[in-house]
Amino acid sequence: MWDAIVVGGGLAGWTAGIRAAQRGKKVLIVTEGVGTLYYFSGIFDYGDLESLRHLPKHPYSLFDAEAIDRGKHFIQELCPEYIETNKSQHALTVLGTARQGDLMPRSMVLPNHQEQGSFVLLVPEGLKDFFPEIVVSNLVREFPGWQVNVKRVHAENFGEWQRMGKSASGIDYAAIWRSKEGQNLLAQEIEAIKREHQGAGSRSGKIAVVLPSLVSEYFDASRTKTYVQDYSLPVIEMSSFLPSPHGRYFAEYLKHQFTDLGGELMIGARAAALNGKPMSAKQPKSCQEIIVQSMGKVLHLKAKKFILATGGLLGGGIKVGIERKLIQEDVFDLPLYVPQEWSTSQFFASQPFAQIGVETDKCLRPLDTNQGRVIWDNVHVVGRMLAHWDPWTQRCGGGVSVTSGCAAAEII
């Protein structure tokens, strides 16, 4: 029997699994895939913590400030290159605009807007869905004291692709840049840029190379690399676009971190049902096992605790029937908070459907709000499955997922 079974392999699920394994617990993660991690930009957003914590039903209201800080420290210990930023520190989006974030790698942090210098945008040939003209235009507007130049880079690995008219994704290029051959190529290009600017002179001595799809060594899941390339100029990574190189390598990194701690993993498995019983007539039920379908087999998996991290409406943890007449949580059949109206006419406004999810007590146990009681005593809900928050307009997706995942792991 496991101490805990985590159902779902998104950010909240991996966080819960890794933190519980760090605490010496025997943990199994059951997941159909990688959840929405492939959409991860490389930056963790926590939102306006003080305002959100005072919203009566927002997930942050379930936690004190110390619990939220523990989640931040968990990420920084897991990924030492991540730093907590202030309001004056920004990262660069794939369109060349500056955006704030609460935790980001050092390699993404932009220079101060008030400084002067030169940006050189390296443009990989054949990179799909990348628009250097827009990036340059936005960089010029965002950094009026900086010169912006473009240098195109040719990778021989994609020569045949280009001859066939096939473009390369960010993930394809990230794989090149993370190889020894690719890093040597970048080092040569960056050294050439340095010589050019030293010869021609620039507005100031500061030169920074901007590059999409680099994904530096902070997500090295293999732990087998024997080389680290030093560049002669500072390199600034842009945040990821889809398909996300940061998301792919972060998912692999989390998987290796979990299994290195002794965690067990079942990928491509679907939790379909459960067995449980009431502890007494007036007390919550206790889940004894979940029933999992994997590779044509039906498995009965027992644990002391269960963590539900299946990703909510967009992650597939909540199923919606035809014309929304049937909406249900897919594993434990938990009651859901569903707003009367699902959407508003203003496209960029907070959409009510984002608030759909499971209501819980402060221990993240699912509630039947009609009867005012806990449903399952040993089930804890985390991440996007929690009700009453909007990761987009409130910009707190990473924060809620990490905080709730860590908090659930501490209960095990």
> 44, 402 in Cβ contact below 8 A?
yes
DSSP for 332-366, written as a single string: S----B--S----S-TTSPPGGGG-BB-B-TT--B
Secondary structure element (H or E) that encloses residue 208, with its range: strand 207-211
| pLDDT for position 403 | 98
Residue owning tokens 């009431």? 278
| pLDDT for position 226 | 47
Give 100's strand partners: none
Hey, what are 157's tokens? 């690995």
Radius of gyration of the chain (CA): 23
Query: For 55-59, which contacts have Cβ atoms below 8 Å and span 24 or more sequence positions?
Result: 55/388, 57/359, 57/387, 57/388, 58/388, 58/389, 58/394, 59/386, 59/388, 59/389, 59/400, 59/403, 59/404
User: Quick one: 120 exposed, middle or buried, by C-beta within 10 A (0-12, 13-18, 19+)?
Assistant: buried
Which 3 state secondary structure label does DSSP give 112? Answer: coil
| pLDDT for position 255 | 94
Secondary structure element (H or E) that encloses residue 329, with its range: strand 327-329
> 387, 358 in Cβ contact below 8 A?
yes
Give 318's strand partners: 329
Residue owning tokens 């730093």? 83
| pLDDT for position 281 | 57
Distance (Å, whole) CA 79 – CA 248: 15
Distance (Å, whole) CA 87 – CA 55: 22
Please state whether the peptide bond connecting residue 352 to the residue before it is cis, i.e. omega within 30 degrees of 0.
no
134 φψ region: left (φ > 0), alpha (ψ -120 to 50), beta (else):
alpha
Phi first, then psi, for residue 8 (nearest 5°) are 125, 135
pLDDT per position in the chain (412 positions), as tens?
999 999 999 999 999 999 999 999 999 999 987 777 888 999 999 999 999 999 989 999 999 999 999 999 999 999 999 999 998 899 999 999 999 999 999 999 999 888 889 999 999 888 888 999 999 999 999 999 899 999 998 877 776 776 777 778 888 888 888 888 888 888 999 999 998 887 655 555 688 999 887 777 677 765 555 445 678 999 999 987 777 899 999 999 999 999 999 999 999 999 988 888 765 556 788 999 999 998 889 999 999 999 999 998 878 889 887 666 688 898 998 999 999 888 887 877 788 899 999 999 999 999 998 888 999 999 999 999 999 999 999 999 999 999 999 999 999 9
CA dihedral 175, 181, 183, 186 (to 10 degrees): -110
Phi first, then psi, for residue 12 (nearest 5°) are -65, -40
Q: How far is CA 307 from CA 8, 271, 399, in A?
A: 8, 12, 18
Q: What is the pTM of this model?
A: 0.92
Give 102's strand partners: none
- Which domains does the chain possess? 2-82+249-411 (3.50.50.60), 94-238 (no CATH)
> 258, 285 in Cβ contact below 8 A?
no
Q: How far is CA 139 from CA 128, 136, 240, 331, in A?
A: 20, 5, 17, 47
CA dihedral 36, 37, 40, 46 (to 10 degrees): 80
| pLDDT for position 45 | 96
CB proximity list for 128: less than 8 A, separation 6 or greater: 167, 168, 169, 170
Considering only CA atoms, which of 176, 139, 151, 148 is closest in space to residue 161?
176
